[in-house]
Amino acid sequence: MAGRSVTVLNVAEKPSVAKAVAQILSRNPGIRGRDGRSRYNKIFEFDYTIRDQPCKMLFTSVIGHLMELEFDARYRKWHSCDPADLFQAPVHKSVPEDKKDIKRTLEEEARRCQWLVLWLDCDREGENIAFEVVDVCTAVNPHLTIKRARFSALIASEIYQSVQNLVEPNKWFADAVDARQEIDLRIGASFTRFQTMLMKDAFNIDTVTDGRNTVLSYGPCQFPTLGFVVERYWEIQAHEPEEFWSINCSHRSDEGTANFSWGRGHLFDYTCAVIIYEMCIEEPTATVTNVRQQEKLKYPPHPLSTIELEKRASRYFRMSSEHTMKVAEELYQGGFISYPRTETDNFSSRTDLHAIVQEQQAHPEWGIYAQRLLNPETGLWRNPRGGGHDDKAHPPIHPTKFSAGESGWSQNHRNIYELVVRHYLACVSKPAVGAETTVEIDIAGELFSACGRVILEKNYLDVYRFESWGGSVIPTYTIDQQFIPTTLTLDPGVTRPPPLLSEADLLSCMDKEGIGTDATMHDHIKKLLERFYATKDASMRFTPTNLGEALVMGYDDMGYKLWKPYLRAVMERDMKLVGEGNKSKGEVLDTSLQQMKACFLDARLNKVKLLEAMAIFFERSNRVGSEHQNTTEEVVRRCGLCQESDMVLKKNRDGKFMVGCLGYPQCRNVVWLPGSISEAVVTTNTCNNCTPGPVFLIQFKFRQLEIPPSYNVNHLGCIGGCDEILIQLTEICGTGPRMPARARGPTPATSNAHPTPATNNANHTNPRQSACLHCQETGHSSNDCPSQTRRSRNAQHPETNQQSGESSVSCSSCGAPGVLRTANTANNRGRKFYTCQSQECTFFVWEDSINNGTGGRGSARSNNVPTSTRGRNGGRGPRGRGRSGSNSSSGTFVTATGDPISGRRCFTCGDPSHFANVCPNRGV
């Protein structure tokens, strides 16, 4: 429809493609462009007509993806959150800073256009970039008419046809890429942070990073790719050579020599082999039992797909898959080959196959063969066989323009172009024809056979120099003919392991199991080498490094086959269904991320397997880093002070446990834990009382000799302020070294939730749900009992046992006589203390504190978070009792373990002789 001219904004994926298409459509090889906001992405202007519609064409480009998918700002720092949160943390697409100029160019040009024509690469990735361009342009001009140009080669015929047959962009393809990006971002970030923070400073990892920041990355495609390499390596390591024996026979005549192989192949039993061999030696006459002659065909390869291009370039030229794709991309942009990223190995019936051959007739090396192909009298032409794959986007890779070699080409450019051309000429040729003869003979009842082959017609082998069809001529034999073998030997042999995976083998494994796509497989292989998970030798074969093997071994020991291809293969199939419109993006995201989050949580609970595997290959590190670098980083709760970061379980360089804020050093909130803890693991159980939640319970294991015998060494505890057991053990055992209070800053008040038991492992009663042990009233715990608070101010004196004459103390809880025991902790070895006879009672008092008026553990306790003290001075010392009486003015306190704490005063009245929890003025 002729009419008023419209302004059309055309956007290609790369500047070189924009220039090439503009030159073709404008018919001006010397077309000049003007600068946009980005000096690399010029704008070409010319007039054109699309289906009788006069158009003013503006042609520009992006540089690959215009946008990046990333987490919201508060989740981007490694220590800003629990890595498990990344499975549901908010994500968004935005234009990165280095591409803002390209965005501004698109916005400025789109405002004055009526049409937007997308010339992005015609695969899923290109479709996704197309919708990124659409989002930017329609944000400033929502009235744009959106069209898509589909093409597979930068040649005039393709471009002319494409611009006159514009279509709608494919949202399904774009959604499939969005799904992959989000899945890979969430899984990769969570596992990478987890294993890097867990191990990089715990071990001396001997890498080639030259001291640079080491990242132990995890990728849902990268790890199964590593798994293939490690699994083959393990097969080789596990192989045990086994000796075998075989009988070999040869016969030489005037026509040549025939080598006969034993029908049994070989035997592992030497005695059996010797017996059979001796039978053959005693009756060595060979009788021909069968002679078969048949025609054999060797078929040419299927049309060339991306994976086959990478595999053959690796095999023929020892080129890496990454470099192969780089060279192929440059040849495509120069218009010499079709689009190099395609899964298709079957030509459409609409493709003019002869025209492609015609362009190659003048080539000095394969031009004569091309002429023979086009000559009907030779009978050499044969329509290509399809391989059964079609991505519905691009044809197989084929030559699009003649070249005898450009001046700027490297040897690799020449090799790839030659491979593409010869491969195409081969796949439209007849198969090679050979005559194969098989002769079977009998010696003393044992069968042997020999095979000979003669090539009758080479056909495609004449041009495809990369393949050969080996064979040998054997003498002529007839049935029942007899002869004496020239040689008849019993030869030893040994079984050999399979070879290391070559790059072609690895690509085959990935392709077979559906790991990655034709456009991404080479990137996953490249990552293995960059991360030093594997090395590649001069033969293009891969060996896992200690680091790569340790990571795979650790996950394998967990039981989850995260290094196996199955999980990723299912995801790839689901994403393919999204591209076909048979599944929604949201459905695939929910399924995949739910499955992988379960794997992540399980892996974290079993992280000891990773540490054990790493310890096999690497020495433990003595490096001193920041606190969060030496910790397992298991989230316990959200920080109540900064309200931004998480509180995580940490282990200091001295081996003591604590719960600290990930916002350190900006936030210095910390909860110090008893120094007698030997193991601590955050569980998935949460406290029902502490708020704000969730507060995850921690499974503690205490050192038996450092806690009173009435306590269980296993304890499921809460650091939220409700756990009486944890508070008591902190008082008894003290904590690890701490920074001065002024260096840490103020600490938030702990949760004021009512105290509640935090364990089902220790035999203690919930003081808020049962009657007080002292006054039998409810509503308070025994350690907060008013009667005991008053009693604690008076010295408790031992009574004398009338029968034994020994001093004893009655339990303040149940009245039973206390048992005198001796402490064995580092701080109090040899010191005497009294405990109740009942295992269910928590009464405890030091013998030497009775005369000093300190009182026992049952007489006064705090119900605050362990070692996190409330008060005006922000102190966080451990709970203690003053050794001096209430009238003491020494200002010196000690913990139950005897550690001095200087400068502590009652927060209520200021008296240095007691703490606020036993202050007589409390509540006044």
Q: C-alpha 163: how far from its chain's center? A: 42
> What's the sign of the alpha-carbon dihedral 734, 740, 744, 747?
positive
Same domain? 156 vs 217: no
d(CA 845, CA 860): 11
Q: Which tokens is 523 given?
A: 């990137």
Task: Please tell me whether residues 66 and 119 are part of one structural domain.
Answer: yes
Q: Which of 861, 611, 606 is nearest to 731 (CA)?
A: 861
10-residue averages of pLDDT along the chain (924 residues): 82 92 90 90 94 94 94 88 91 94 96 95 90 96 95 89 94 94 94 89 67 78 93 94 96 92 96 96 96 94 95 94 94 92 88 92 95 94 89 86 92 96 96 95 96 93 92 90 96 95 93 84 90 90 93 86 82 89 93 91 87 88 47 74 83 79 79 87 86 87 85 90 86 59 32 33 35 49 48 43 54 71 63 68 68 44 32 30 33 36 50 55 52
Per-residue pLDDT at 684: 79
Residues 6+ apart with CB under 8 A from 407: none
Q: How far is it, in rounded angstroms, from Cα 261 to Cα 299? A: 27
pLDDT at 642: 81
**What span, in angstroms and rounded, lies between the C-alpha atoms of 776 and 787?**
11
Burial of 294 from C-beta contacts in 10 A (0-12 / 13-18 / 19+): exposed
Same domain, yes or no: 483 and 357 = no
With a CB cutoff of 8 Å and minimum separation 6, the contacts of 368 are: none
Tell me which amino acid residue 424 is: Y
**Number of separate domains in the chain:** 6
Report the pLDDT value the prediction gives residue 322, as an integer from 0 to 100.
93
Do 27 and 157 reside in the same domain of the chain? yes
> What is the C-alpha separation between 618 and 214, in angstroms, rounded?
15
Based on the domain organization, do 48 and 113 belong to the same domain? yes
The pLDDT score that the predictor gives to residue 913 is 53
For residues 425 and 335, state if they share a domain: yes
- The answer to the question of residue 275 being in a domain is yes
Q: What is the pLDDT of residue 437?
A: 95
| Residue 155 and residue 15 share a domain | yes
CA angle centred on 801, ends 796 and 805, rounded to 5°? 115
Q: Helix axis angle, 546-558 relative to 585-605, nearest 10°?
A: 90
448 and 424 inside one domain: no
Residue 124 in domain: yes
Q: Show Cβ contacts of residue 120 under 8 Å, excluding neighbours closer than 6 positions.
A: 11, 12, 13, 126, 127, 129, 130, 133
Domain co-membership, 325 together with 275: no
Active site residue 464: no
Q: Judge whether 386 lies within some domain.
A: yes
User: Is residue 662 a part of any domain in this protein?
Assistant: yes
In sequence order, what are the beta bridge partners of 535?
A: 543
Q: Helices 503-513 and 222-238: crossing angle, nearest 10°?
A: 120
653 and 716 in a single domain? The answer is: yes
Question: Does residue 478 lie within any of the structural domains?
Answer: yes
Question: Tokens standing for 404?
Answer: 């005898």
Would residue 256 be called left, alpha or beta, if left means φ above 0 and alpha means ψ between -120 and 50 degrees?
A: left
Distance (Å, whole) CA 916 – CA 869: 10
**CB neighbours of residue 779 within 10 Å:** 10
Residue 854's nearest CA partner among 876, 886, 887 is 886
Q: Which of 141, 169, 197 represents a domain boundary (last residue)?
A: 169
Tokens of 665: 């050093």
Cα 224 to Cα 107: distance, rounded to the nearest angstrom:
42
3-state secondary structure of 901: strand
The domain boundary residue, chosen from 713, 732, 753: 753
Last-in-domain residue among 685, 718, 753: 753
Q: Which of 332, 339, 460, 464 is catalytic?
A: 339
771: in domain: no
Note whether residue 17 is domain-resident.
yes
What does the alpha-carbon distance between residue 42 and residue 102 come to, in Å, rounded to a whole number? Answer: 10
Alpha-carbon distance of 367 to 272, in angstroms, equals 60
In a domain, 779, yes or no: no
pLDDT of residue 391: 74
- Provide the 10 A C-beta neighbour count for residue 824: 12
Q: What is the CATH number of the domain that holds 86?
A: 3.40.50.140
End-to-end CA distance of the chain: 94
Write out pLDDT tens, residues 796-841.
445 545 444 445 677 766 667 777 777 655 556 667 777 776 655 6
Specify the CATH number for the domain of residue 356. Answer: 1.10.290.10
Q: Which residues contact 62 (CB under 8 A, 6 or more apart)?
A: 11, 12, 13, 14, 41, 99, 102, 106, 129, 132, 133
Report the CATH number at residue 277.
Answer: 2.70.20.10
Give the residue numbers spanning the domain of 163. 6-169
State how far Cα 440 lies from the chain centre. 55
β-strands 243-253, 256-262 pairing: antiparallel
570 and 584 housed in the same domain? yes
816 and 903 both lie in a single domain: yes
The CATH code of the domain that includes 187 is 1.10.460.10
Q: How many CB atoms lie within 10 A of CB 560?
A: 17
Element (H, E) at 547: helix 546-558
pLDDT (0 to 100) of residue 501: 95
Q: Is the peptide bond before 384 cis (omega within 30 degrees of 0)?
A: no
